[in-house]
Amino acid sequence: MIVRKDKILRTHITNIYGQSSSSTAMIAQNMVTEVAKSLGFNEIGIYSYPIHTDTPQEIRKRIDGMLAGVSAHDVVIVQLPSWNGIEFDELFINKLLSYPGIKIAVFIHDVVPLMFENNYYLMQRSINLYNKAVTLIVPSKAMANRLKSEGLVMDHIVIQQLWDHVTSLMPAAPKFEPLINFAGSVTRFPFVKSWHNDTKLQVFSQYDEKNLNERVSYQGWLPDNEILRHLNRGFGLVWSENTKNQFEREYSKINLSYKLSTYLASGLPVIVNQGISNQKFIEDNNIGIVVPSLSEVDQRVKNITKAQYNDMAENVKRVGYLIRQGYFTKKILIDTMHQILSY
């Protein structure tokens, strides 16, 4: 709570519920909210439901209930998208703007029109929504530039740079081994099925089909702390491919990968595709290998010495500590509050 002249200014943050326990979108918002609560923010719960079963009036009533703890002159950080659709997000933001003196910051996790080709028609509505905020939190400078090219007029922008992955786990030093770990859907990342590299691939994902590739080992989906314990040798892979309706490779240049922080939190050096939005951070901190194609992975892994691997692992240890403690999220939330209160 912040005392400002004769007004009591309270801070709030939205948080989604009701999705699958393996939903990265929900996991990320829940994590940000827990960090925000440690800084004194109040939580506004938003539940995923089929909003098209409601009339606009019924949706407004739901939103009124969600915002029961919000008052005039408060600060609200809205994590978007809510995944209840652009119609819900518009009604939610517009309701907030009806409070006198309210200040809104939008924390962009994903931009749906840039994720899916057939949703690009929503781009202008998304930009209009972002422009209603006082401050915007974006994944990267590249994302800020892309949104400005689409019509964003916001000047108060906070760059996220990296996800946190808050956990009490204290990982041991990883084992140097020619093994690549990948946490991601086989359907969304089809390269897994056609993996032909000499280096073995260990996949943490649900997979019902029979595995005919001896170079790939499927471990199934594991809860958070369990997967972090399993990520204790080799490298963590962050890789994007373009598929029908989803230009993952292009999107990775402006967005952030949550799995990158999962690997770093567990202590693993990483292998990432060239062009990823935080490539410079990875290179500057010597915490992984950047390659232009999967065909180069084998040679790069074979050329790494144990001493070089341990050096990267030691650097990951330092970055991983910050990630596990939520320091990147704390910084962007504090920077956002500074911008809002100086507006």
Q: Do 333 and 317 have their domain in common? A: no
pLDDT in the model for residue 188: 80
The whole domain housing 54 covers 2-162+327-341
Which residues fall in the annotated binding site for UDP? 24, 188, 257-262
What's residue 22's pLDDT? Answer: 83
For residue 200, is it within any domain? yes
Q: Would residue 170 count as lying in a domain?
A: no
The CATH code of the domain that includes 281 is 3.40.50.2000
Considering the domain architecture, whether residues 61 and 184 belong to the same structural domain is answered as no
Residues 13, 136: one domain? yes
Q: Cβ contacts of residue 230 below 8 Å, gap of 6+?
A: 181, 204, 219, 222
Is 242 in the same domain as 333? no
DSSP 174-214: PEEEEEEEEES-TTT-GGGTT---SSEEEEES---S----T
Q: What pLDDT was estimated at residue 244? A: 78
Residue 218 in domain: yes
Q: Say yes or no: 222 and 269 in one domain.
A: yes
Residue 247 CA neighbour count, 13 Å, CB half: 12
User: What are the pLDDT tens digits along the chain (343 aa)?
Assistant: 454 544 658 999 999 999 988 899 999 999 999 999 999 999 999 999 888 889 989 999 999 999 999 999 999 999 999 999 999 999 999 999 999 999 999 999 999 999 999 999 999 999 999 999 999 999 999 999 999 999 999 889 999 999 999 999 999 999 999 999 999 888 788 888 889 899 999 999 877 666 667 889 988 888 888 999 999 999 999 998 877 777 888 999 999 999 999 999 999 999 999 999 999 999 999 999 999 999 999 999 999 999 999 999 999 999 999 999 999 999 999 999 999 988 7
Direct distance between the N- and C-terminal alpha carbons of the chain, in angstroms, rounded to an integer: 18
Residues 253 and 333 in one domain: no
CA distance linking residue 70 with residue 43, whole number of Å: 10
Residues 145 and 180 in one domain: no
H/E stretch holding 62 reads helix 56-66
Residue 76 CA to residue 12 CA, distance in Å, equals: 5
Domain presence at residue 333: yes
The pLDDT of residue 6 is 46
141 lies in the same domain as 192: no
Residues 116 and 182 reside in one and the same domain: no
Looking at residue 283, its amino acid is: E
Q: Are residues 112 and 188 in the same domain?
A: no
What radius of gyration do the chain's Cα atoms show? 21
Cβ-based burial of 305 (10 A; exposed 0-12, middle 13-18, buried ≥19) = exposed
What confidence score (pLDDT) does residue 247 get? 84
Burial label for 329, CB within 10 Å (0-12, 13-18, 19+), is buried
Q: Are 151 and 212 in contact (CB under 8 A)?
A: no
Q: Give the list of residues 6+ apart from residue 85 with CB closer than 8 angstroms, or none.
A: 51, 52
- The tally of domains found in the chain comes to 2
Residue 264 belongs to a domain? yes
> Is the domain of 73 the same as that of 182?
no
**How far apart, in whole angstroms, are the C-alpha atoms of residue 178 and residue 127?**
44
Instruction: Indicate if 215 and 130 belong to the same structural domain.
Output: no
